[in-house]
Amino acid sequence: MRYIRPLSIEDAVGQLAGAAGPAAILAGGSDLLVRMKGGFIEPDLIVDIKAIEGLSEIRETAEGFSIGAAVSCAVLGESAALKKAWPGVVEAAKLIGSKQVQGRCTIVGNLCNASPAADSVPALVAAGAKAVVVGPSGKRTIAVEAVPTGPGRTSLTKGEIIEAILLDKRAPRSGDAYLRFIPRTEMDIAVVSAGVNLTIDEQGVVKAARIALGAAAPTVLLVEEAAEALIGRKLDEAALERLAKVCSGACRPIDDKRGTIEFRRKVAGVLARRAATTAYKRAGGK
Amino acid sequence: MAGVAVSTTINGDSVEYLCQPDETLLDVLRDRLGLTGAKEGCGTGDCGACSIILDDRLVCSCLVLGAEAEGRRVETVEGMAHGEKLHPLQQKFLEHAALQCGICTPGFLIAAKDLLAKNPDPTEEEIRFGLAGNLCRCTGYDKIVRAVQDAANVMKGA
């Protein structure tokens, strides 16, 4: 096995693309090292991307925010500007693991680990976040929901690295929120979760909405019908009822030790409803 | 396998070592450098017994490669006392009997040190959440929380 710490993204891409055997990207390592220890992966090459210029930074641009792939969730949670603009994304990222894990884990890692229960992913999908993918054939920007293709699988091809996550500049009167259900108060994996992102007009009528569910299907679910249930209305009881019903109906969960299909369906609706209420308040709705 | 040559700083001292590319920083600390304060509980980042501070961030050293410490600053429990003088947290853990078997203690001490560095006056709830990444199977946490509260009071007065 070789460990390398390239200084440029081009070098990192070249090393990954040219690797003869299995290769792994190392940012926070909170998934990779566990998988290596468990014998689930035996990479010949580990490419540590933390020394690549710019990858450890959160940049505020004219278009919004660019969060580098090596930014730990601890650092992300300390960004006042990001917390103000995208509180739902930040609260989701802050739910990943313990303080110790927060010091290492990244949202790009959370995305590329492709767990259906990843906490930051529904919040990012609701936020309309994009991933900047750099590979042997150049750079492309794709929707976050296009990255995971199934549990543990992504659409990334050999040599490709997600360099950053992009979040748009906030429209006025916008808010987002993320909630998950776990049977404890801390340090657990989502049984089911919901991310909601709303923009309202001056009267409190929802102009735009994105609702995403986690741990409810093999990949994160962007529920377009749920957005339709809210757009053009105030967030009244009828709209919330409809939202919960649509979200419960959209789930395709599994039965496992953490929750049954029936439970996950019901709670998906409850969480979507509660997250929508918080997002609406954050947007300034009453 | 060729070793990776690493130059780093541990508890204020410059340290150089050779390690294997897949060797964790925890294994380097314990097996190569003789710093056995950090313990391996789970080896998968769940128990916090291997907690260290890496460039001012609390991390599990079982989830860090030894090679990654190049050019960085590592703080372990061995760096907390000054000679014979214990760190206030260590002193208060003793006074409150906040340990039984002691396996989790170095991790708790380091996590509590990091917590108080960032939040010198935490509430009980903040302490409990702040230390949620450290598992203890003996004391039931109450004594640990009280020791941290008491140490925080001492450190504020210092």
Domain ranges of chain B: 4-79, 88-157
Q: B139 pLDDT band (50/70/90 cuts)?
A: confident
Chain A residues with CB-CB distance to B129 below 8 A: 186
Pairing state between β A2-4 and A45-48: parallel
Burial A3-24 (b: 16+ CB within 10 A, else e): bbbbeebeebbebbeebeeebb
Element at A131 (helix H, strand E): strand A130-135
Last residue of a domain, which of A168, A196, A217?
A168
Percent over 90 (pLDDT), chain B: 94
Q: What pLDDT score was predicted for residue A17?
A: 98
**Beta carbon pairs, A and B, within 8 Å:** 86
Residue A163 backbone dihedrals phi, psi, to 5 degrees: -85, -35
Give the whole-angstrom CA distance, residue A59 versus residue B16: 34
- Quote the pLDDT of residue A286: 85
Please choose, from the candidates A218, A249, A221, A236, the residue with its C-alpha nearest in 3D space to the C-alpha of residue A276: A236
Tell whether A9 and A75 lie within a shared domain. yes
- What is the 8-class DSSP label of residue A171? P
Greatest distance between any 2 Cα atoms in chain B: 52
Using a CB-CB cut-off of 8 Å, the residues of chain B touching A33 are 24, 45, 62-65
Chain A closest CA to B21's CA: distance in Å? Answer: 5
pLDDT at A189 over 60: yes
Q: Which of A2, A29, A72 sits opposite B65 (nearest CB)?
A: A29
Q: Does B22 touch chain A (CB under 8 A)?
A: yes
Q: Describe the crossing of helices B142-157 and B88-95 by its angle, rounded to 10 degrees.
A: 140
Prediction ipTM score: 0.95
- Region B88-157: CATH code: 1.10.150.120
Among all chains, which residue has been given the structure tokens 């409809």? A242
The Cα-based distances of A179 to A86, A155, B10, B112 in angstroms read: 14, 26, 39, 28
Chain B interface, best mutation among A26, A75, A76, A99, by max B CB count within 10 A? A99
pLDDT digits (tens, 9 = 90+) for B90-107: 999 999 999 999 999 999
CB neighbour list of residue B40: distance below 8 Å, 6 or more residues apart: B26, B30, B49, B50, B62
Multiple choice CATH, B4-79, 3.10.20.30, 3.30.559.10, 3.40.50.1820, 3.20.20.70? 3.10.20.30
What is the tally of structural domains in chain A?
Answer: 2
| Percent of chain A whose pLDDT exceeds 70 | 100
Structure confidence at residue B140 (pLDDT): 79
> Whose CA is closest to A97, among A35, A182, A192?
A182
Residue A245 has pLDDT above 80, yes or no: yes
Q: Are B74 and B131 in contact (CB under 8 A)?
A: no
Strands (E), B38-85: 51-54, 57-60, 73-75
- Domain region containing A234: 188-282
Range A13-23 average pLDDT: 97
**d(C-alpha A145, C-alpha A222), whole Å:** 8
Q: Which of B21, B43, B60 sits opposite A100 (nearest CB)?
A: B60
**Shortest Cα–Cα distance, B14 to chain A (Å):** 21
Q: Smallest Cα–Cα separation from A279: which of A86, A128, A113?
A: A86
Q: What is the mean pLDDT of residues A189-207?
A: 96
- Nearest CA of chain B to the CA of A186: how many Å? 7
Q: What is the pLDDT of residues A95-144, one digit of tens each?
A: 999 999 999 999 999 999 999 999 999 999 999 999 999 999 999 999 99
Residues of B in contact with A24 (CB under 8 A): none
Give the amino acid at B103: I
Instruction: Enumerate the residues of chain B whose CB falls inside 8 A of the CB of residue A98.
Output: 45-46, 48, 132-134
Evaluate if residue B1 carries a pLDDT over 60. Answer: no
Instruction: Kindly report the CATH number assigned to the domain that includes residue A134.
Output: 3.30.465.10
Are the beta carbons of B59 and A34 separated by less than 8 Å?
Answer: no
Asked if the structure places residue A129 within a domain, the reply is yes
Cβ–Cβ of A33/B24 closer than 8 Å? yes
Sign of the dihedral through C-alpha B61, B63, B67, B73: negative
Task: Write the DSSP assignment of A158-170 as a string of letters.
Answer: TT-EEEEEEEEPP
Contact A278, A177 (CB under 8 A): yes
A183 is a domain residue: no
Section A203-220 average pLDDT: 97
Cα B47 from chain centroid?
A: 12
Return residues 28-87 of B near A (CB < 8 Å). Answer: 43-46, 48, 51, 54, 57-60, 62-65, 67-68, 70
- Residue B11 CB coordination number (10 Å): 16
Q: Which CATH number characterizes residue A202's domain? A: 3.30.390.50
Q: What average pLDDT does this structure show over B80-84?
A: 95
Per-residue pLDDT tens digits for B23-65: 999 999 999 999 999 999 999 999 999 999 999 999 999 999 9
What's the sign of the alpha-carbon dihedral A102, A108, A113, A119? Answer: positive
Based on the fold, state whether residues A28 and A67 are members of the same structural domain: yes
Among partner residues A29, A46, A74, which is closest to B21 by beta-carbon distance? A46
Closest CA to A244 of A208, A194, A200: A194
List Cα–Cα distances, A157 to A48, A126, B134, in angstroms: 18, 25, 37
